[in-house]
Amino acid sequence: MSSTLRHAGWVLRGNPVTAFAAAGTFLLVAVAVLAPWIAPYDPITSNVSNALKPPSAAHWAGTDQLGRDIFSRLLAATRLDLTIAAAAVSLSFVAGAVIGSFCGYVGGRLDRWVGRLVDVLMAFPLFVLAMALVAALGNRVENIIIATAIINLPFYIRFARAEVNVRRHAGWVEAARAGGDSHAAVVLRFLLPNILPAMAVQISLNLGWAILNAAGLSFLGLGVQAPTPEWGIMVAEGARFIGTGQWWLVAFPGLALMLAVLCFNLLGDGLRDILDPRMRT
């Protein structure tokens, strides 16, 4: 553990981009946890007399068409979007890692059937598939999480299947079988933990995609519904006022969305450097 931490510190010191991504990710998580306590105003309380005010000392990011404080809404939206992304990626990771690991270990007909199903899922444009799922299930937060988890599932199944397939005949796997461990125990106790560091990179990338997916659904009216603060909704509502000069309604939620996706994507590159054993030599 100490060697991993030292190597992580070396990577962060030598790569300012990765250090920026790690700091940005930590800030996003801190904001999501502390949002109810640090927001200066109620994010859903309107005050029409303050509508469409530009950024000022009283309202750091201005106000929207209903006089709601945009900065407070940004903080609340961070909590919601990260919760959706974390829940969706956790579901898809757990299910995909287990399914893919058993398919890669067993092989044969099961592997072929699951492989064909994954190919069918990935043949569809994934965002269009998410739109169809949410439209069929209803645009509640739980259904957005389920739809986002389903479209991320093929990535983990393919990754886990390929990694386990390479390792299933390794000496330490044969030793575990010879020691009396069942096939399920070999997969869950030995093979699956062995591929988790490599899958952490995919998790980071999927978090960014999940945030973008949730915001895109809300922007189109298929995701979280107003007046709930959410980055996609805020961009959609503010887009009507760009032509009249109220740029802050779109600029701040769009910037928050861009930075969140950028931080998770860049963090994935850093995790690859941190977790790759070849980088420690």
pLDDT tens digits, residue range 102-142?
888 887 788 888 888 888 888 888 888 889 889 888 888 89
148-169 residues labelled b (16+ CB within 10 A) or e (exposed): bbbbbbbbbbbbbbebbbebbe
pLDDT higher than 70, residue 272: no
pLDDT higher than 70, residue 268: yes
- Quick one: fold of 2-41+69-280? MetI-like fold (1.10.3720)
Task: Supply the Cα-derived Rg of the chain in whole angstroms.
Answer: 22
> Confidence class of residue 183 from pLDDT cuts 50, 70 and 90?
confident
Query: Per the omega criterion (within 30 degrees of 0), is the bond before 229 cis?
Result: no
pLDDT higher than 90, residue 175: no
**Looking at residue 75, what is its pLDDT?**
94
Alpha-carbon span 108 to 169, nearest angstrom = 15
**Looking at residue 93, what is its pLDDT?**
92
Taking a C-beta distance cutoff of 8 angstroms, is the pair 165, 157 a contact? no
**Looking at residue 179, what is its pLDDT?**
80
Q: Which of 39-48, 93-102, 113-122, 271-280 has the lowest mean pLDDT?
A: 271-280
- 63: which strand partners? 69
**Looking at residue 113, what is its pLDDT?**
87
Taking a C-beta distance cutoff of 8 angstroms, is the pair 148, 218 a contact? no
Average pLDDT, the chain: 85
Q: Which of 32-36, 77-81, 200-204 has the lowest mean pLDDT?
A: 200-204
Taking a C-beta distance cutoff of 8 angstroms, is the pair 84, 210 a contact? yes
**Looking at residue 165, what is its pLDDT?**
85
> Confidence class of residue 222 from pLDDT cuts 50, 70 and 90?
confident
* More confident site: 132 or 197: 132
* More confident site: 280 or 126: 126
**Looking at residue 32, what is its pLDDT?**
92
> Confidence class of residue 81 from pLDDT cuts 50, 70 and 90?
very high
pLDDT higher than 70, residue 1: no
Taking a C-beta distance cutoff of 8 angstroms, is the pair 133, 148 a contact? no
Lookup: tokens for 10:
């070396």
Taking a C-beta distance cutoff of 8 angstroms, is the pair 178, 190 a contact? no
Taking a C-beta distance cutoff of 8 angstroms, is the pair 206, 92 a contact? yes
**Looking at residue 241, what is its pLDDT?**
87
Alpha-carbon span 84 to 78, nearest angstrom = 10
pLDDT higher than 80, residue 274: no
* More confident site: 265 or 90: 90
Q: Rounding to the nearest 10 degrees, give the CA dihedral for residues 257, 262, 263, 267.
A: 150
pLDDT tens profile 4-24: 556 556 556 666 777 888 888
> Average pLDDT for residues 151-178, to the nearest whole number?
85
Domain ranges, ordered by start, for the chain: 2-41+69-280
**Looking at residue 51, what is its pLDDT?**
87
